[in-house]
Structure formats: structure tokens, C-alpha cells
Amino acid sequence: MTSLTDFIFGPLAYPFMIRGLIAAVIVGVVCAVVGSYMVLRGMAFFGDALAHTVMPGVAVGYLIHGRASGPLFWWGLATAVLASVTIGSLSKRARIKEDTAIGIVFAGMFALGIALISTVQSYTVDLTHFLFGDVLGVAWSDIWLTGGFGMLVIATIVLFYKEFLIVSFDPTLAATQRLPVNVFYYLMLVLIAIAIMVALQTVGVALMLAMMVTPAATAYLLTSRLPSMMLVAALIGAASGVLGLYLSYHAEMASGAAIVLVATLFFVLAFLFAPRRGIVWRHSED
Amino acid sequence: MLRNVLGISMRRLQTLASALLLMAMVGFLSACAAAQPGASALTEDQSETQTQSQTSKLKVVATTTIVGDVVKQIGGDLIELTVLMQPGVDPHSFAFTPQHVVKVGEADLVFMNGVELEAFMDDLLTNAATKAELVSVSQDVKLLRVAEEHDHDAEHEDEHEADHEHEADHEHEHEGETHNEGDGHAHQHGEFDPHVWWNVANVQAWSDTIAQALAKADPANAEQYNEQAARYKAELSALDSWIKERVAELPASERKLVTDHDAFGYLADTYGFELVGTVLPNVNTLSEPSAQELAKLHDTIQEQQIKAIFVGSTVNPALAQRIADDTGIKVITTYTDSLGKPDSDAATYIDFMRSTINTIVDGLR
Amino acid sequence: MDYAKYVSPFSSIQWYTKSLWTSQPEPAPYLTKVLAQRYANYSFGCSFTKGNGMGALDLQDDMDWPMIASVPTTLDPILRVADLQVRYHNGVALGSLAFEIERGERIAIVGPNGAGKSTLLKSIAGLLKPTTGSIQLNCKQDDTRLSIAYVPQRSDVDWSFPVNVSDVVMMGLTGRLGLLRWPRASHRALVARCLERVGMQDFAKRQIGELSGGQQQRVFIARALAQEAELLLMDEPLTGLDIRSQETIFKILDDLKEQGVTVLVSTHDLNQAAERFDRVMLLNKTLLGFGDADSIFTPQRLAAAYGGHLRVIQTGDSVVMLEDGYCGARESETV
């Protein structure tokens, strides 16, 4: 059917669509894999907060370099890594719960960023919106960057899979096996920071967060083992990206919102119909 | 044990890192504050500083740099002028400081652009509890409705003459669609486009309004105000002619404008440009275009052989840059909502207009 | 009286009696049969005490009260604790502990909630660092590396984590595999064997949340087997299990004992502690006794451990001691 061919291949005539699809797939996969750990350890708030803690770093970079987006990325990345390690160390050492530590660091750093900008010019624009991305606006250089870091993150998770598994599931076992628990704890935080920063640069704040959490939560309902959970999450993340962009094209919807809506729809379907865990299933068992 | 060693050094490292981060931030903060002489200070009229305090001078406050410049041209040395915004500031997301409140409180007269450009005005006036009279310089200007984004058939909306009424008896197809008033950064338009300064005739109307208000507040100098207004209006007429000449250098088919967002309504309407498309679908920087809208823009640029996308300084140019790269055209930056710094080529309104027109015309050749 | 039917597997079942001295007292729900028989020949003047402090018990024989009540004959301590103290932000969890444990022993650690049983086990496992003092392992050998397995309290485990039974046992091999190594067929075979030894081979692919309490314990024991642990620490493994499950666990522990694995188990069940374990450690932030049950389960020590939360009931000729958590029970330590 020509209309079906048009439907699928029409958008591909535009280079920005092709780049957008590639970026969405890469970000979807990387975020889903990292997001699996975040979902299991209850770190969704951490992810959101981290996206905002990059503000002062980006602000400093902006003051020094102007609007060139290259250096800003590195400033943001350094800040994200530093912030995540700080939050991790606060919640481990002090009597502060992780939740509280996140709130403190997040609000403080965000305010610092705004203050830095506002002392120089009198508009207190939220730079994260100003500087961070839109999946339709990725350049090929962004894709290389995203792809490179994405591969680094996934390779690390795969290589140290069993260590991360133990540290997440049973830290005492890790201690009895003389595993350096702290090293892997902080390594995971750094990986999360990298994934967040890369996704932020590519697709923006709201989309990044949804890509971290929603596909992983959906996969959690559908699988019972961690490797399959990460795989299913990655597939759902990629599928949400592709379908979302097509939706944006054919239904004239904002691209980021479309992707998030598709991902959420997947979650709702799983929530209702997942075997053994879905609501509908459980009702029919009664 | 290795674990112990790692544990201890990680802790020291974290404490050190946190301390360094804090110190670095504080260091930058103070350095920046020190490096910017009076960063949030207000731009005072230069001629004021050389005199002893002349309490008889009218205290005038202007909101935007553009309004401020026109007021300065007319008021000159006879007034004590303070402009709230610095060059380069986006009027739509401007946030006032306590110093601004004080200045407004002391003022006799406050000039603003009007047409809902200054969203902060109500709050500022409430806080200042001023005795000043508030004058919207655009009160006598013939306003255009906010332009709708054109589809790639490029039907004109704004090709109407300057003496149409601005009420609802426009007989046009794509009429009067108000944009979404998004939150966050926004040109928070009502129904009318506030960027009236792109039509020089409007600024002439401003001059009259300003002269009138100054004369009323300071009758002793009324004559001078009116003289200076007349002189300035003559300069503006010359500017208007000059603009028309420059635009005439472009053949009618070459006057198509693609911009990052919707800022040039009056420019297009008055001087014969055609607004073909925008990158962002409405004037809210939080908005994102859908893939289809971008695709249509892409097609439009190719079909109509657009030469450049014009962007201002308040929107992330990344999207515009991508489309430009994909279609092989340029991205050109222009001044939009604010004058440039005093040492730039857009320090006054007239220079600002010249610079922008030159950039546009040269870019479209 | 047949007390057997009142032997309750549930720890800390609280029971109040209004009248101590009624002629027909209610049989207590929580009975320690052994104690009842042991003290059948004593007559006590008993009284309730509330709050801390020792019970005012008059005993006919004068008890001399060493902390370590008995020492086994073979001297090959697998674990030596000296002057151990563990502090948390809100106070001391454990203070001045000193004891030795021999290889192959099966030790029960008893004490009220908040006594520091979990803290002690976690310190031995290496998860918590002592504030002062030392924990020495494998004292006679030159090599102080000891393979330790810790079986956590069921409430400390995230049962919804997406791992199945095999995955949990395989985790025990992580240390042995080393970094950047993957499990091979031989490792998987080892996991299968460990599951067989605890009788869980049919459940290999079940997600851990789908298991019953006893099955969950057995999975963690299988993990300990995979670790080839020489020292097994179990935090309240029998709590909440029915008798059959408990017996299954004990059978496995007997099996382990034959192989010379040292086992430390914290429990609330004094009866079991007395009957099924070599030595008993009575703990309430400090060491109140360590030795065979006869010497440790004396009214004086028990009162010191359980404080005012111990009720002494005279039922006919015999006396029973009840742990009472109703009034002002201390919160269990959150670790």
C-alpha cells in the first residue's frame, strides 16, 4: 500500500528525522539500562535532581565560554558527576536520608546557578531549558557524543554486571566477599550522572527523565530477572522513541511529549495486562 | 585490607571534592560580581552625571532600551532619565530588582512600551507605590494582531496598509489567532503584537505621545520638547525612506523571511517582507515544534529558495542551525527586542534599525 | 503437666497474667520446658519488676557468675572477639564484648529486641566497623582470610528484586569468579548441587518473592554453600517458620556441622537455643553469658538480660520465665 510506505518512509526523507530517530534510539536504550537500576533502588528523584544540579556548572561555563555548546557539555558533565558523588557521600556518612541529601544538594546548586547568572545579567532564565536539547535538533556531532558515552556506560554495566547486582541487592554479601562496595556504589552514581548528562544534552529535561524511569518500570512488570528486565526496558525505550517521533510527524505533536506519551502508554498497558502482575490478570484470577 | 584503604581514601576524596566545589563556586561568584561594575545598576543618562543636583529636572523612567532611547532623543538634557533594562535584556523575561522599585518610586513619569510587552509592570507599580504617571507610548499606534504561523502556501496576512483600523473588521483568512500563552519564558502576548517599533511610523507616533506627556508634566520646557520631537521625527522620516530604498534593492520575490520565532510582524507588514515561516511554532521558548512542522519548514525553505534563517538572541539557535545545515542555508543573527551596548552598532534606535535592515537585506541578496 | 503442647515456635509471644498466686494459674503460652523442669526443685519468692535492673530474686543457692561458663575442649578458635564495641549515632549498640568461638561449633545468640544480635553478626561479617576492639578470624592459621556467609533477616531483603533462586546462589560465587569473569557450566553445576543439598533444586527458576519463608532461608543457605563458607552467620532464620520448616533447616545445619562449618544463629526461642545448640550466648548490649545452656539460663542472668521484661510465674512446682514485650518493649535495632 503506497500510503503505508509513505507513512513509514515519508518522514525519513528529512535528515533531521533520521538524526532524531537515531538519537532517540540511543538515548532510549542507554537510559533504560541505567534506569533499571534507578527504578530498583528508588532513585528516580535522584535522577530528576541531578538534571538540575548541573546548573551552576553550566552557568560557569556559559560565563566563560558564551553560548558555545561544546564546552558547556563538559562543564555540565563534570558538575553532574561531582553532584552525584556528593549526594552519595552525604547520604552514606551523615545522619541524613538519601531523599533529604538529594533535596539539599539539588536546591542549593540550582539556586547557585541562577544566582551566578543573575549577578551578570538581569534575566534569570532557566538555562537548562535554554541550553538543552530537543530530539529534533540533534546534530551528527551530538550523535557521536551520545553514542560514544552511551557505549561506555553500557559496556561498564555489562562488564561489572555481577558486581553491580550484588551491591544493589545485598551489600552485606558484597562485604563478606571482600568486594569494594564503595567503589561500585560510586561508580554506579557516576554512570547515572553520565547517562543523565548525555541524555539531557540530546533530548532535554522532561524527556530524559521519562526515558530513565518509564520503560524500566514497564519492564519490571513484565520480567522476573534483571538481565531480561534491562533488555526489555531497552527495547521499550527504543520503540517509544521511534513511535513517538512518528507520532510527532503524523499527528503534529511536539516530539518530546509524543515520545513520553508513547512510553507511558506502554506502561499503562503493562500495568493492566501484564501476566501475573497486571491488574486485569489479578482480577481474573480471583 | 584493600577495602579499608579504598574506603578511607574515598571519604577524604569526597570531602575534598565537596569543599573544592563549594570554594570554586564561591570564588567564581565573587569574581564575577567584582568584574561587573555595577552589574545590576541602571543605565543613567550620561548628561546627568556632569551636573550638580538639579532638583528641578523631571525624573523619568523608561522600561525598554528602545523606549528609553526615543525618550532620550526628545527629553535630552531637560530630564533625568533612567532606563530599567540593560542592553541585551529580553523584555519578556525581565525581572526587576529592588533598585528598580526605588527608581520608579521616585519618578515623575514612567514610559513603557505597552501592548502587554512588560508583563512585570503591574507588580512593579504596586511595589513602588509611585506618584508617577504611567504612559504607554504605543497608545496611539495602529496595532497588528499577532501573526499566525504561515503554512507553506504562504498566504499573506499582513499585507494591509497602515491606516486600517485595528479592530475586528480585518477581512483576512488567517485572522486573529491568539497564540498559546505558555508559562515560563514567553512573549506573553495578548491579541496584539507588541513589537511595534519595527514600523518607523509607529515610533513617530511614540514621539508625539512622549512629547505630549513631557510637556504636560513639565510645561516650562514644553516648547523644547516639541521642537526636539519634531526634529527627531524628521530623522525618523529619513530613516523610513532609507529603509524603503534598501528594501527596494531586493526584488519582490526575494523578500521572504524565515525567523526563529515570531518577532517581525510589523517589519514585514510595513516594508514589504513576507513572513514565510518560523522555527518555533509560537513565541514560547518552552514550545517545541512537532516533526511535521519542521518538515513543512524544511519543504518551504527548499521550495521557495529561502536564503537564510534570521534568529534573535533569546532563543536557542540549535534547531534553526540544524534546519539551515540540512537545507544548505545560513543562520543570521539580528538584534530583535533590545538595543545593543553603547559601543555597538545598535546603541540608538536609528542605528538599531539600520543595522537590522542592513543585516536582513544583505542576508537576502 | 504436659508442657509440650504449649511450646510455641513464635518468639516473644506476650502473655499477661493478672494473678501470680492463684491456685490454678493459666498455663503460659510461652513455655520453656527445660527451664520448668530444671527449676522444679527450687522454690522462689518471685516478684515483678518493671524497668531495668535485675529482678529481685532470692535464690537458695549462691551462684557464682562467670561470663564464660564453659569452654570446649578443642582449642582452634575460628573467631576471637576482644573488647568489641560498636556505636551508632544514637548510642552504643554493643559494648565490651570478648569471646572465642571454636571451629565447628553451633552457637545460638539470644537476647531481647535491641540487644545487638544483628549488630554483632554484621560486625563479624564485616559490614559494620567496630568503634573499638577487634575481631580476629582463623586465629591459629597464618592466613586470616576466612570465608564467611551472612544470611540476612527476611525483613532486610528486597523480595521483589528481579532475581530468581539460581541467581541468588550464583551471587555467592561472585568473589570467586573475580572481576570481568563470567560463570561457566561448572559454576552453574555447582549452583545446582548447592540447591540440591538444601532441597530447592525444583525452585531454581522461581523469582525469590514467590517462595515461602522456609524456602527463602534455604536459598540463602545454598548461597552460603556456594561460597564454601567456613563460618555461617544467620540472623533470626527461624523466626516465623513453622515447625516443619524449622526442622528442615536444622537438618541442613546438622549436615553442615558434620562438615565442620561453624554456625552462629540469633534466635528468640530459648528452648531451641538450649536444646539444639552447642553453646548459648546471652546478649543485651554486653555479653551476659556464654556457655552451655545449663549455666547460662539461670534466673539471674536471664533477668539481667531481659530486665523488667521478664515475668516469673510459678505454676505448681515449677517456674517459668516469660519474655514480656508488651510494656515498653524496646524497638528492634534498625541497622
Answer for the pair B142, B162: CB distance below 8 angstroms, yes or no: yes
CB < 8 Å & 24+ apart, contacts of B231-235: B232/B70, B232/B73, B232/B74, B232/B207, B233/B204, B233/B207, B233/B208, B235/B350
Max mean pLDDT range (B278-287, C121-130, C259-268):
C259-268
Q: Looking at residue A8, what is its pLDDT? A: 86
Q: Regarding predicted confidence, which is higher, C169 or A110?
A: C169
Rounded to 5°, angle at Cα A100 from A94 and A102: 100
Which chain C residues touch A if contact means CB-CB below 8 Å?
A: 89, 122, 125-127, 148-150, 152, 157-158, 161-164, 167, 170-172, 174-175, 177, 179-180, 207, 223, 227
pLDDT at C22 over 50: no
Question: Which one of C171, C228, C264 makes the best mutation probe of the A interface by having the most chain A beta carbons within 10 Å?
Answer: C171
Over residues B269-284, the mean pLDDT reads 79
Over residues B119-146, the mean pLDDT reads 85
pLDDT at A230 over 90: yes
Q: Which residues of B touch A129 (CB under 8 A)?
A: 184-185, 285-286
Over residues C209-221, the mean pLDDT reads 91
Q: Which residues of A touch C170 (CB under 8 A)?
A: 162
Q: Regarding predicted confidence, which is higher, C8 or A16?
A: A16
Whether the CB of A179 is below 8 Å from some CB of chain C: the reply is: yes
pLDDT at A279 over 70: yes
In angstroms, rounded to a whole number, what is the distance separating the alpha carbons of residues B260 and B275? Answer: 11
In angstroms, rounded to a whole number, what is the distance separating the alpha carbons of residues B91 and B63? Answer: 9
Q: pLDDT grade, residue B83 (50/70/90)?
A: very high
Answer for the pair A213, A44: CB distance below 8 angstroms, yes or no: yes
In angstroms, rounded to a whole number, what is the distance separating the alpha carbons of residues B336 and A239? Answer: 41
Q: Looking at residue A138, what is its pLDDT? A: 86
Q: pLDDT grade, residue A235 (50/70/90)?
A: very high
Q: Contact partners of A by the rule of 3+ C-beta pairs under 8 A?
A: B, C
Q: How many CB atoms lie within 10 A of CB C306?
A: 24
Q: pLDDT grade, residue A213 (50/70/90)?
A: very high
Q: Which residues of A touch B22 (CB under 8 A)?
A: none
Q: pLDDT grade, residue B283 (50/70/90)?
A: low
Q: A197-221 as b/e, with b when 16 or more CB fall inside 10 Å?
A: bbbbbbbbbbbbbbbbbbbbbbbbb
pLDDT at B104 over 70: yes
Answer for the pair B194, B265: CB distance below 8 angstroms, yes or no: no
Length of chain C: 335
pLDDT at B43 over 50: no
Q: How far is A224 from chain C (nearest CA, A)?
A: 5
Tell me the β-bridge partners of B80: B59
Whether the CB of B129 is below 8 Å from some CB of chain A: the reply is: no
Over residues B239-261, the mean pLDDT reads 89
Q: Looking at residue B2, what is its pLDDT? A: 44
Q: List CB contacts of C320: < 8 A, sequence separation 6 or more.
A: C28, C31, C32, C35, C36, C312, C313
Q: List CB contacts of A107: < 8 A, sequence separation 6 or more.
A: none
What cell numbers appear for B261 in the block? 520565532
The 3-class SS string of chain C reads: CCCHHHCCCCCCCCCCCCCCCCCCCCCCCCCCHHHHHHHHHCCCCCCCCCCCCCCCCCCCCCCCCCCECCCCCCCCEEEEEEEEEEEECCEEEEEEEEEEEECCCEEEEECCCCCCHHHHHHHHHCCCCCCEEEEEECCCCCCCCCCEEEECCHHHCCCCCCCEHHHHHHHCCHHHHCCCCCCCHHHHHHHHHHHHHCCCHHHCCCEHHHCCHHHHHHHHHHHHHHCCCCEEEEECCCCCCCHHHHHHHHHHHHHHHHCCCEEEEEECCHHHHHHHCCEEEEEECEEEEEECHHHHCCHHHHHHHHHHHEEEEEECCEEEEEECCCCCCCCCCCC
Q: Which residues of A touch B290 (CB under 8 A)?
A: 248-249, 251-255, 258
Q: Looking at residue C72, what is its pLDDT? A: 55
Q: Looking at residue C139, what is its pLDDT? A: 61
Check CB contact under 8 Å for A224 and C126.
no
Q: Which residues of C touch A179 (CB under 8 A)?
A: 174-175
Q: What is this structure's pTM?
A: 0.73
Q: Work out how many domains chain A is built from and give that number.
A: 1
Q: Regarding predicted confidence, which is higher, B264 or B70?
A: B70
Range of the domain at A182: 4-285
Q: Which burial class, exposed, middle or buried, applies to B126 when counting CB atoms under 10 A from its CB (0-12, 13-18, 19+)?
A: exposed
In angstroms, rounded to a whole number, what is the distance separating the alpha carbons of residues B115 and B266? Answer: 13
Q: pLDDT grade, residue C319 (50/70/90)?
A: low
* Span A24-56, pLDDT tens digits: 999 999 999 999 999 998 888 888 888 888 878
Q: pLDDT grade, residue B209 (50/70/90)?
A: very high
Q: Which residues of C touch A165 (CB under 8 A)?
A: 163, 167, 171
* Span B211-243, pLDDT tens digits: 999 999 889 989 999 999 999 999 999 999 999
* Span B294-318, pLDDT tens digits: 899 999 999 988 889 998 866 667 7
Check CB contact under 8 Å for A166 and C174.
yes
Answer for the pair B75, B212: CB distance below 8 angstroms, yes or no: no
Q: pLDDT grade, residue C324 (50/70/90)?
A: low
Listed by number, the residues of chain B in 231-270 with a beta carbon closer than 8 Å to a beta carbon of chain A are none
- The CATH number of whichever domain residue A201 belongs to comes to 1.10.3470.10
Q: Contact partners of B by the rule of 3+ C-beta pairs under 8 A?
A: A
| 3-class state of residue B192 by DSSP | strand
Q: Regarding predicted confidence, which is higher, B116 or A215?
A: A215
Q: Which residues of C touch A170 (CB under 8 A)?
A: 152, 157, 171
pLDDT at C49 over 50: no
Q: Looking at residue C46, what is its pLDDT? A: 29
Whether the CB of A119 is below 8 Å from some CB of chain B: the reply is: yes
